[in-house]
C-alpha cells in the first residue's frame, strides 16, 4: 500500500510541470528591452501560443525567429508549464528551453 501511494504521489508531482511543445509560424516580433532580458519576443500565428509573447534565448535564436518570420517557415519551441497546452498558455514572455525552425 505504501508503494502504491508513493507511486501515485510521484506521478502527480511529475504531471504538475510538463514540457509542452508549441509550433506555428511567427506572427510578430517585438523588442521591449525591459522584457526577455534584452532579447526579442515573438508571437505565433492564430491561437498557437494563445496570443502570448515568447522570449528568444540569445542573439542566435533571435536570428532564427527573424529568419522564420521572413521566410514563412514554422518555428517550434518547448516551455515548461503547469497543466497548460500551447493554446492555453497564461503567461506572457515565457522563456523556452529551445527553439527550432523547420519546413512543413
Domain that holds residue 77: 17-102
CATH number of the CATH domain containing 35: 2.40.50.70
Is there a domain that residue 5 lies in? no
Give the pLDDT of residue 8: 56
Give the pLDDT of residue 18: 79
Give the pLDDT of residue 59: 93
8-28 as b/e: b if 16+ CB within 10 A: eeeeeeeeeeeebebbbbbee
pTM of the predicted model as reported, rounded to 2 decimal places? 0.78
33: confidence class by pLDDT, cuts 50, 70, 90: confident
| Three cell numbers, residue 28 | 510578430
Of 79 and 7, the structure prediction assigns the larger pLDDT to 79
Give the pLDDT of residue 4: 53
Is there a domain that residue 1 lies in? no
Is there a domain that residue 7 lies in? no
Is there a domain that residue 4 lies in? no
Counting the structural domains of the chain, the total is 1
Pick from 32, 56, 22: nearest CA to 42: 56
Give CA–CA dist 11/65, Å, rounded: 35
Amino acid at each position: 500500500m505504501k508503494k502504491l501511494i508513493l507511486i501515485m504521489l510521484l506521478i502527480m508531482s511529475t504531471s504538475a510541470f510538463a514540457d509542452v511543445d508549441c509550433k506555428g509560424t511567427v506572427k510578430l516580433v517585438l523588442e521591449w528591452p525591459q522584457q526577455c532580458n534584452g532579447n526579442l519576443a515573438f508571437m505565433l500565428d492564430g491561437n498557437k501560443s494563445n496570443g502570448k509573447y515568447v522570449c528568444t534565448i540569445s542573439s542566435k535564436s533571435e536570428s532564427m525567429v527573424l529568419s522564420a518570420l521572413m521566410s514563412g517557415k514554422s518555428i517550434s519551441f518547448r516551455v515548461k508549464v503547469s497543466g497548460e497546452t500551447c493554446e492555453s498558455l497564461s503567461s506572457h514572455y515565457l522563456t523556452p528551453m529551445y527553439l527550432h525552425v523547420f519546413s512543413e
